[in-house]
Amino acid sequence: MASQVDEILKLMHQPARIRNIGICAHIDHGKTTMTDSLLAGAGMISEELAGKLLVMDFHADEQERGITIDSANVNMLHEFEGEKYLINLIDTPGHVDFGGEVTRAMRACDGAVVLVDAVEAMMPQTETVLRQALRERVKPVLFINKVDRLIRELKLTPDGMQDRFLKIIADINNFIKGIAPPEFGNKWQLSVQEGSVGFGSAIHKWALSFPYMKKIDMSFADILKAYEEGKENEIRKRARLHEVILNMAIRHLPNPLEAQKYRVPKIWPGDLESEDGKSLLNCDSKGNAAFVVTKIVIDEHAGEVAGGRLFSGTLKRGQEVYMNQAKQWTKIQQVNLYRGPQRLIVDEVVSGNIVGVVGLKGVFAGETVSSQPIEPFEALKHLFEPVVTISIEAKKASDLPKLVEVLKKVGKEDPTVKVEINEETGEHLLSGMGELHLEVIANRIKTEKGVDVTTSTPIVDYRETVQSASDVFEGRTPNKHNVFFVALEPLEPAVYDAIIAGEIREGRIKKKDEELWKKLEACGIPTKESRQYKDIYRGSVFLDKTKGIVHIGEVLEMCIDAFEQLVNGAPLAKEPAIRLKVSFVDTKLHEDAIHRGPAQVMPAMRDALTDAFMNASPTLYEPLQILQLESEVRYMGEISKVIQNRRGQLIAVDQEGEHLTIKARLPVNETFGLAADLRGATEGRANYFIVDQLFQRIPQELQQKIIRQIRQRKGLEVEK
C-alpha cells in the first residue's frame, strides 16, 4: 500500500502520465460493476469480490436500491507499454434524478468512458451523460457492456453481434457529431479499428477491443464457443477487463496538458493572455493555484471534504487560500488522495489531478479556490432544474436546530437540491429533480444524519412570464426625489435558447465583453442593443438604455438587484420568472447620494417592474418532462390510457419485435405515482426514463385555479 502511494505521488508530478476519467452511462448499464473490476485490476480489492462488492456505492441506500446516487473518486495505477500511469477515476450515477453529480464530475475529468448495454443500446440517459460530457469538452470512448446477454438471451451469431455493435457505434457517433463543438465533431468519432471502442461483460470481468483481439488472437466466435461450453472464466483470464478499458483510456483520452489547452477557454472566462490564464492553459504546477470544487462530502471526523480538480499550481497543508465567490480567505488543514470511501492524507498535491481538500470553511460545489484572487471558473450548469418541492419538518421540536444544520449540509453535498430555510415560520423546503431524488435525501436525513423527519406530499414549481410588451412604467422612491422608468417584454427565443444551452454566460456584465456581444449579434440582436446588456440571470436579461445620466453607475447595481428579486419571485404567485427582457429606459436622480440609497432605489424599481410585468399579459408556465417508456407491444393500449389520463401526449412510438418504445410529454404535476400506475397497467413490465425537461404555458382554463392554489399555499393574498 505504502509503495503504491509513493508511486502515485511520483506520477502526480508527471501530467503527461495522468488521465482524469469519468465512468458514465444510463442507469443499470453496469458502471459500478465495471469500476469494481478496474479496482481489482489495480490491486485495490480482490478479483473474486469484484462486481459483488460495488466498492464505489458506499452509502447504505445505494447498496439497498442497487443504484449509484453519488459520484465517487479513486486514484489508481496502471501499467501500459512498460510505463506506469496514474488514473484519477470518478464513478458517476446513471439515474436522471442524480444528473447533477454527472455534471459536476465532468468538470473534473478530461475523458469519459461511456458504457452502453449491448441489448438496450443508446438510452435517454446515455444521451444525457454524453451531452453533459461534451458540453464540458470531455472526450468520450465507448464500452459496449453485457455482451453475454446477446449470446444468452438474444442467441446472436458472431455476425449478428457485429451488426449490433456497428449500429450502436453509428448512433453514438451521429450524436457526438450533432452535439460536440464543431472542431471536435469529427475528431472525436469512435472507431473500432483504432480501438476507441471496447466490448465485453463487466459482470464476467472480460473485455476486448479490436487491437487487443489481434494481439491475443481472439475472435467473437471464440467468445461464443466459451459461453456455449460454460467456460466464460477462461475468457477473463485472456482478456482482462481492466487492462482493455485502461489501455483504451490511456491511448485515446487526453492527459491534462493536452486537455486544458482546449477546455480552459470554454470553462474559465478570464483573460487567457494573463499570467493566470497561461498557468491554466499549461497546467503549470508553479503558477497560482486554481482548484475547482466539484463535490463536497461531510465527514464526521474531518468535517467538509471538498473534492475537485486542481487546474494549476500546488496545494499544501497549512496554505492560505482564497475562495473567490465567497470572497474570503481560509486555511487548508489537509490535502487528500482518494481510494473510494477512504482518503489518504498527503503533504501536497499538484495541478492536473483530482484531489480532496479539508478546511475550506463554508465552501460549496462550483467554488474556485486559489492561492491569490482569480477570475472564478464558469458556474456549473445542470441540464435540468429542480422542479419538485417538499416541505420537511423535524418530528421532535428539540431536533429543529439539528435539522437546520443538516439541511445546510445537504445543500452543500448536492447543489442540484435547493434548500430554503425560513427561520421565522419554521418551514423548510427542499426542491429537487423528481420524487426519487427527494425521497433519497429525506431518507438520508433520517438514517445517516439521525434526524427523524416528516415530509409533505411533493408540489411542483411553476414559472411566470409575459406574452407581450408592456408600456413604460415609472417607480418613485419613497422620498419622492428619484424616478425610474422601465419597460418589459418577452425575451427573444434565440437568446433564451443560447442562455439555456450555456452558449451565453449568465452573470453581471463587465464593461467590455466582445465575446458576449458577438453571441448576441449571432442571435439577431442589433449591435447597439447588444452593448446595453447589463445582467443575464436565470434565463432573463436586464438592459440599460438610459442616456447621459450622471450618477447612473451608483444606482445601476441596486436596479439590477431589484430585477433579480423580481426574477426570483414574480407578481402572479411569487414563482420564479423566465424569458423576461427588462429595459431600464430613463431615470431622474437626486443630486445628493444620501437620497438615493438602497432603501429608496430598490422599492421604486420593484414597483415599476411589478406594474410593467402585470401590464405585459402575464401567464403561468408549468414544467413538463419528455419521458421514454419501455415495455412490451401488448401493453400499448394500457400505457396510452395511463398517459392520456394524466394530461400527457404521445410524441413517438417505436416497435422492434415485441419491444415497445414510447416517447411522451407529461406535466410534472401529473408524474407523481406514475411508476405505480404503470406497474399496475403492465404487470410490472414497464420502465420509464426522463429524456428532457421544458416549460410550457398552462391551459387557460387552469391558469386562475392554479394561481389561487399557489397563493393560498404561500399565505399570499388571494383574489376573490
Predicted confidence (pLDDT) at residue 21 exceeds the cutoff of 50: yes
How many percent of the chain have pLDDT more than 90? 41
pLDDT digits 0-9 by tens, 532-573: 999 999 999 999 999 988 889 889 999 999 999 999 999 999
- What CATH architecture is 264-370? Beta Barrel (2.40)
Domain boundaries, the chain: 2-254, 264-370, 388-451, 464-616, 622-711
Q: Which CATH number fits domain 464-616: 3.40.50.2300, 3.30.230.10, 1.10.3720.10, 1.10.287.110?
A: 3.30.230.10
CA–CA distance, 123 with 442 (Å, rounded to integer): 29
CB atoms within 10 A of CB 493: 11
| Helical residues (DSSP H) of 46-123, grouped into ranges | 60-65, 99-108
Residue with cell 486542481: 310
Q: pLDDT grade, residue 50 (50/70/90)?
A: very low
Do 29 and 120 form a contact (C-beta atoms < 8 A)? yes
How many percent of the chain have pLDDT more than 70? 89
Do 98 and 106 form a contact (C-beta atoms < 8 A)? no
- Reference 574, options 381, 447, 453, 717; nearest CA is 717
pLDDT digits 0-9 by tens, 219-245: 888 888 888 888 878 888 888 888 899
- Reference 702, options 665, 677, 667; nearest CA is 667
Domain 388-451 CATH class label: alpha beta
More confident residue, 200 or 435: 200
- In sequence order, the 6+-apart residues with CB closer than 8 A to the CB of 385 are 623, 693
Q: Phi and psi for 485 in degrees, rounded to 5?
A: -120, 125
Cell of 68: 449509484
Q: Phi and psi for 596 in degrees, rounded to 5?
A: -130, 50
- The CATH code belonging to domain 2-254 is 3.40.50.300
Under DSSP, is residue 87 helix (H, G, I), strand (E, B) or coil?
Answer: strand
Per mean pLDDT, which range of 122-131, 198-207, 507-516 is the poorest?
122-131
CA–CA distance, 72 with 202 (Å, rounded to integer): 18
Do 580 and 610 form a contact (C-beta atoms < 8 A)? no
- Reference 51, options 36, 31, 38; nearest CA is 36
More confident residue, 464 or 40: 464
pLDDT digits 0-9 by tens, 588-610: 999 898 888 999 999 999 999 99
Do 488 and 582 form a contact (C-beta atoms < 8 A)? yes
Predicted confidence (pLDDT) at residue 288 exceeds the cutoff of 90: yes
- What CATH architecture is 622-711? 2-Layer Sandwich (3.30)
Helices (H) and strands (E) in the chain, counts: 24, 33
CATH topology agreement for domains 388-451 and 622-711: yes
CA–CA distance, 25 with 3 (Å, rounded to integer): 33
Under DSSP, is residue 175 helix (H, G, I), strand (E, B) or coil?
Answer: helix
- Reference 687, options 120, 57, 148, 30; nearest CA is 120
pLDDT digits 0-9 by tens, 230-284: 887 888 888 888 889 999 999 999 999 999 999 999 889 888 999 999 999 999 9
- In sequence order, the 6+-apart residues with CB closer than 8 A to the CB of 707 are 572, 573, 620
Cα angle: 83, vertex 86, 91; to 5 degrees: 135
pLDDT digits 0-9 by tens, 298-329: 776 777 888 889 999 999 999 999 999 888 99
User: Beta strands 427-432 and 463-466: pairing type?
Assistant: unpaired
CA–CA distance, 560 with 558 (Å, rounded to integer): 5
pTM of the entire predicted model: 0.73
CA–CA distance, 131 with 249 (Å, rounded to integer): 19
pLDDT, position 383: 61
pLDDT digits 0-9 by tens, 405-417: 888 777 766 767 7
Cell of 645: 389520463
pLDDT, position 699: 87
- In sequence order, the 6+-apart residues with CB closer than 8 A to the CB of 487 are 469, 470, 471, 472, 473, 582, 583, 585, 612
Q: Phi and psi for 98 in degrees, rounded to 5?
A: -110, 25
